[in-house]
Structure 1
Amino acid sequence: MQDQYLHRKIVFIAMVVSLCACLQIFKDHFIYWQDHLFAEPWRLWTAHWVHVGWIHYLLNMIAFACLPFIFPRACVWHFSTIFLLISPLLSLSFYWVLPDIGAYAGLSGVLHGAYAAIACVHLLYKRERSFAALVLFLIFAKLIWENTIGSTGTAQLIGSPVLVEAHLLGVIWGILLANIYIIVDYCYDRS
């Protein structure tokens, strides 16, 4: 049974990495363009699945590929749901909360949200609680670092400014989704 879950996670990772690579080839048709967002609604999702360049793509794919193995309790449908929900939530947040953002591409906001969401849920499990708390602490420390010191090294590496607001909004949405999941799961178990 364990092999089946591992196989599903590997297939899921391969599918996402391949999809992102394919979209990357025609990235101008998929990035977040504020002026085209509602006329071309696929950009609500695809903006987070394309990147400013191949180095940016590679960094995000490495972080993405690690996620299912860091939290082995989470299954593929958890990851799929998080990625499908946080992507448009981030895009709509850019549109309504940060209207100065005219263009965006990258998975890092969604990744920050996914790591935060899954870590929050893993706080419920005694065996994983310490590790989940460590992950959350590291995420919060990174957010503080980015919003005070900056992330010039990453910006130089990927050849584009890092939108740290995407990371912060991703974490906020991830924690909110985790709490909704916990409440629904609790109510379902009580019935």
Structure 2
Amino acid sequence: MQDRFLITRIVFIAVFMSLSACLQVFANVFIYWREALLHDFWRLWTAHWVHVGWVHFVLNMLAFMCLPFIFPRAQVRHFIALLLLLPPCISLCFYYFLTDISAYAGLSGVLHGAYVTVACIHLLYPRERNFAALVLLLVLGKLLWENSFGSMGTAELIGSPVLVEAHLLGVIWGMIFAVVYVIHMYVTDK
């Protein structure tokens, strides 16, 4: 059983990283362009699966690779759902509420949302509660730091400004999805 758990997660990570790397080759076709978003609807998703460069890609993929292993109760199907649900929610928030954002690429908003969703759900399990709370505190601390002092070091490293609004939107949507999931769990258990 443990082997299947490990193999499933490794295959999931490899498939997503390969997809993201392939999209990276033609990133301009897949990034968020405000003017093209509603005509090129795939950008709602792909904008979050491509990056501004390969350093950005590697950094996000390192954070992505950790997620399925640090929260063992979450299943691969949950991660797939988050990779499909979070991107259009964030993209549509850019489009309708943050109209000054004309271009965006990167997984970090989705990563913030995924970490928060899974951590919030793991608060329900006594054995995982302390670790989940630590992850949530670290994400909160990161958001506070970015919104107070900025992300100049990261921006220099990836060669592009960091759009901290994506991180915040990811966290907000992550909390919403966690609440919906918990409600769904309790409704279907009864």
How far did 1:97 drift? 1.0
What are the ranges of 5 or more consecutive residues in structure 2 without an aligned counterpart?
none
TM-score by length of 1: 0.99
Identical aligned residues as a percent: 65
Amino acid at match of 1:172: I
| Within-5 A mapping of 1:150-161 | 150-161=150-161
How far did 1:131 drift? 0.3
What CA distance in whole angstroms lies between the structure 1 residues aligned with 2:159 and 2:120?
A: 32
Residue 40 of structure 2 aligns with which residue? 40
What CA distance in whole angstroms lies between the structure 2 residues aligned with 1:61 and 1:53?
A: 12
Residue 28 of structure 2 aligns with which residue? 28
How far did 1:6 drift? 1.2
> For 1:161, what is the secondary structure of its paired residue?
coil
What CA distance in whole angstroms lies between the structure 1 residues aligned with 2:57 and 2:158?
A: 9
What CA distance in whole angstroms lies between the structure 2 residues aligned with 1:139 and 1:40?
A: 32
What CA distance in whole angstroms lies between the structure 1 residues aligned with 2:20 and 2:82?
A: 16
Hey, which bits of structure 1, 4+ residues long, moved more than 2 A? Answer: none
What CA distance in whole angstroms lies between the structure 2 residues aligned with 1:6 and 1:168?
A: 31
Amino acid at match of 1:96: Y
| Within-5 A mapping of 1:1-191 | 1-190=1-190
How far did 1:70 drift? 0.8
Amino acid at match of 1:53: G
Amino acid at match of 1:29: V
How far did 1:67 drift? 0.4
What CA distance in whole angstroms lies between the structure 2 residues aligned with 1:78 and 1:156?
A: 33
Amino acid at match of 1:83: L
What CA distance in whole angstroms lies between the structure 2 residues aligned with 1:81 and 1:179?
A: 15
> For 2:162, what is the secondary structure of its paired residue?
coil
> For 1:74, what is the secondary structure of its paired residue?
coil
What are the ranges of 5 or more consecutive residues in structure 1 without an aligned counterpart?
none
What CA distance in whole angstroms lies between the structure 2 residues aligned with 1:174 and 1:141?
A: 16
How far did 1:59 drift? 0.1
What CA distance in whole angstroms lies between the structure 2 residues aligned with 1:5 and 1:41?
A: 34
Give the aligned length. Answer: 190
Amino acid at match of 2:29: H
RMSD: 0.4
